[in-house]
Amino acid sequence: MQMQTGTASQTNEKPETAKKLVEIKDLKKYFSVTSGTFRKNTQTVRAVDGVTFDVFKGETLGLVGESGCGKSTLGRCILRLYEPTSGEISFDGQNITQLKSEYLRSLRRRMQIIFQDPYASLNPRMTVGNIIGEALVIHKLFADIAERQKRVAELLSIVGLRPEALFRYPHEFSGGQRQRIGIARALAVDPQFIVCDEPVSALDVSIQAQIVNLLQDLQAEFGLTYLFIAHDLMIVKHISTRVAVMYLGNIAEVAPSSELYVDPKHPYTRALLSAVPIADPTRKKSRIMLKGEIPSPINPPSGCKFHPRCPEVMEICSEVTPPLIHISEKRQVACHLY
Ligand code: SF4
The DSSP-derived string for 48-109 is EEEEEEEEETT-EEEEE--TTSSHHHHHHHHTTSS--SEEEEEETTEE-TT--HHHHHHHHH
Name the residue with the closest Cα to ligand 1, atom 3.
Answer: 335
Spatial contact of 187 and 218, defined as CB atoms under 8 Å apart:
yes
Distance from C-alpha of 306 to C-alpha of 250, rounded to nearest angstrom: 10
Rounded alpha-carbon distances, angstroms, from residue 178 to 94, 131, 155, 186, 248: 34, 11, 14, 13, 31
Measured from CB, residues less than 6 Å from any atom of ligand 1 are 266-267, 304, 306-307, 310, 312-314, 317, 322, 335-337
Which pLDDT value is given to residue 3? 58
Q: What is the mean pLDDT of each run of 10 residues along the chain (338 residues)?
A: 50 62 97 76 90 96 92 95 95 91 85 87 92 89 86 95 93 94 95 96 91 96 96 91 96 96 95 78 72 87 96 96 96 97
In terms of Cα–Cα distance, which of 248, 255, 286 is closest to 45? 248
Which pLDDT value is given to residue 276? 78
Spatial contact of 324 and 334, defined as CB atoms under 8 Å apart:
yes
Distance from C-alpha of 58 to C-alpha of 43, rounded to nearest angstrom: 40
Name the residue with the closest Cα to ligand 1, atom 7.
Answer: 307
Identify the sign of the CA torsion 147, 149, 150, 151: positive
Which pLDDT value is given to residue 281? 60
Distance from C-alpha of 277 to C-alpha of 258, rounded to nearest angstrom: 17
Which pLDDT value is given to residue 70? 93
For the whole model, what pTM was predicted? 0.90
Which domains are delineated in the chain? Answer: 8-110+191-333 (3.40.50.300)
Which pLDDT value is given to residue 18? 78
